[in-house]
Amino acid sequence: MPALTPTQLEHFDREGYVVVRNVIDPAKTLDPLIAEYATVLDRLADELYAKGDIASRYDELEFGARYTQICVETETIYNQYFDFSLPFQNVQPDTPFWAGPAVFQALTDSDLLDAVESLIGPEITSNPVQHVRIKPPEHLLPKNQFGNPILGATQWHQDRGVVTEEADDTRMLTVWFSLQDTLFEKGPLMVVPRSQKEGPQPHCPNYMHNAPQFAGAAQIPEKLFAADDAIPLLVDRGDVIFMHKETIHGSYANTSDEVRWSYDLRYNPSDQSTGRIAFPCFVARSRRNPQSELRDPAEWNRLWLETRAHMATINQGEQIDIPFRRTEDAHPLCA
């Protein structure tokens, strides 16, 4: 994959995002991910079946249907079992996560890094603000206290809002791609074009005045931006969305009968703060010093195991004294 074209770069600068087609080779990068996650689901099903929490292992079902059945039957979402990050608090020695070799291969995919390089330069760090999102069909999920699915549409936010103040000047780049084609009914990303030009916005905790599907979440009030200008970004397997850290975005509801399965990653220039110092980052590419690149997936996994052990030791069931995101006082616009 060559660097982004001048037209694509101009679109990113003007609109705050750009969709680039056919960046990732599905057979090389996405299919191994799907196969690897199938083994994680096997272990989860074995664990729940042994405890009597599910009536069957459901190994005759394909991944999405199997995961959905397990979530519906137990009324629980198990994304932490698949995620390659950790919670901010209450981390235990056995808190599940998955940092496997196929995940590492995706983070260091050379075609993906070629595109990232054209946006933030040749010294690239894999930022630990990173997640896999597996969203079952919303109509099958139990509801929360606000009458919404326990895992539904994503509220309005800027990715700058989920890192600490040390990253205010970091050229953090959001990278989003799906493991399957994502049409509208699956709940694609929605972005507000050019919203990055308005700068940082307050994220109001427990906010109740936006659309009902976002009730109670920390979010940017719709009165502060042109929410009606939002557009869906429909993508196929292999396409990638690149987004500015101050672009306001969220996601639509998954109204389909299948899971919506996606990655959201972050990268930043290696001489700048990740904004989440408690979690391990690594050099994904360095033109200046290639020897500094992390190339061993087992070492990446070890870094996360070490982090989990450290957090479990000092956590003791309470919020640990390490900042994970910015601290903001109550904003008058949140009223």
Concatenating the DSSP letter of every residue in 152-174 gives -PPPPB-GGGGS-GGGTT---EE
State the total domains in the chain.
1
CATH of the domain at 28: 2.60.120.620
- 330 found inside a domain: no
- 51 found inside a domain: yes
- 328 found inside a domain: no
- 1 found inside a domain: no
pTM of the predicted model, to two decimals? 0.95
By the 10 Å C-beta count (0-12 exposed, 13-18 middle, 19+ buried), 199 is classed as exposed
- 332 found inside a domain: no
Domain that residue 67 falls in: 6-322
By the 10 Å C-beta count (0-12 exposed, 13-18 middle, 19+ buried), 330 is classed as exposed
- 331 found inside a domain: no
- 139 found inside a domain: yes
**Mind giving me the DSSP string for 78-97?**
-HHHH-SS--SB---TT---
Q: How does pLDDT run along the chain (335 residues), one tens digit per residue?
A: 568 999 999 999 999 999 999 999 999 999 999 999 999 999 999 999 999 999 999 999 999 999 999 999 999 999 999 999 999 888 999 999 999 999 999 999 999 999 999 999 999 999 999 999 999 999 999 999 999 999 999 999 999 999 999 999 999 999 999 999 999 999 999 999 999 999 999 999 889 999 999 999 999 999 999 999 999 999 999 999 999 999 999 999 999 999 999 999 999 999 999 999 999 999 999 999 999 999 999 999 999 999 999 998 875 655 555 666 666 667 888 87
Which residues face 125 on adjacent strands?
Answer: 268, 283
- 183 found inside a domain: yes
Q: Dihedral of CA 277/280/285/286: which sign?
A: positive
